[in-house]
């Protein structure tokens, strides 16, 4: 019984700190796939609209260092002043699949909180 109370308290700490992915250890939550350094979601929005929204957001919050339109990948640095972010946008019959990866400390450590923040913005903007 004590372990159940301890687990509940631990869950409360993680959820209040915004570390849902750390609590889940990766997984799927409301159609959003979360791992240690990435968040994935399939938008109903058009590929070009998702692409443009990603570029606009990264331009406002960091420095875009490379855009590879053939592979559908946008690379940015200094996102929110510190993070390295890679967004991959891919059109599929069911919608536009978008993968946001974030790393910190010279690309050494995963940063799922930044990936979740970016995806949250994209979902608010694109899913009307």
Give me the pLDDT at residue 50, please.
94
Instruction: Determine the average pLDDT of the residues in 97-123.
Output: 88
For 9-52, write each residue's pLDDT tens digit.
434 434 444 444 444 444 545 578 888 889 999 998 889 999 99
Give me the pLDDT at residue 22, please.
42
Give me the pLDDT at residue 30, please.
58
Residue 110 lies in a domain: yes
On whether the CB atoms of residues 34 and 20 are closer than 8 A, the answer is yes
Residue 19 lies in a domain: no
Res. 1: pLDDT tops 50? no
| DSSP labels, 32-100 | EEE-SSEEEEEESS-HHHHHHHHHHHHHHHSEEEEEETTTTEEEEEEETTTEEEEEEEEEETTEEEEEE
For 65-77, write each residue's pLDDT tens digit.
999 999 999 999 9
* CATH code of the domain in which 36 resides: 3.30.530.50
Domain count, the chain: 1
Residue 80 lies in a domain: yes
Residue 16 lies in a domain: no
Q: What whole-number distance in Å separates Cα of residue 76 and Cα of residue 61?
A: 9
Q: Which residues are within 8 A (CB) of 113 and not within 5 positions of it... i.e. 6 or more apart?
A: 18, 19, 102
> Chain-wide mean pLDDT for the chain?
79
Residue 18 lies in a domain: no
Residue 61 lies in a domain: yes
Domain that holds residue 74: 25-126
Here the tokens at position 84 are 């390295």
- Among 1-10, 44-53, 62-71, 113-122, the range scoring the smallest mean pLDDT is 1-10
Residue 52 lies in a domain: yes
Residue 3 lies in a domain: no
Give me the pLDDT at residue 118, please.
92
Confidence of residue 4 (pLDDT cuts 50, 70, 90): very low
């Amino acid at each position: 019984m004590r372990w159940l109370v301890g687990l509940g308290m631990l869950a409360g700490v993680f959820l209040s700190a915004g570390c849902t992915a750390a609590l889940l250890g990766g997984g799927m939550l409301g159609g959003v796939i979360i791992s240690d350094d990435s968040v994935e979601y399939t938008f109903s929005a058009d590929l070009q609209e998702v692409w443009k929204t990603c570029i606009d957001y990264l331009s406002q919050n960091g420095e875009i260092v490379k855009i590879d339109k053939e592979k559908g990948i946008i690379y940015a640095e200094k996102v929110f002043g510190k993070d390295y972010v890679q967004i991959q946008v891919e059109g599929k019959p069911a919608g536009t699949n978008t993968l946001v990866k974030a790393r910190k400390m010279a690309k050494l450590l995963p940063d799922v909180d930044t990936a979740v923040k970016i995806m949250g913005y994209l979902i608010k903007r694109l899913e009307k």
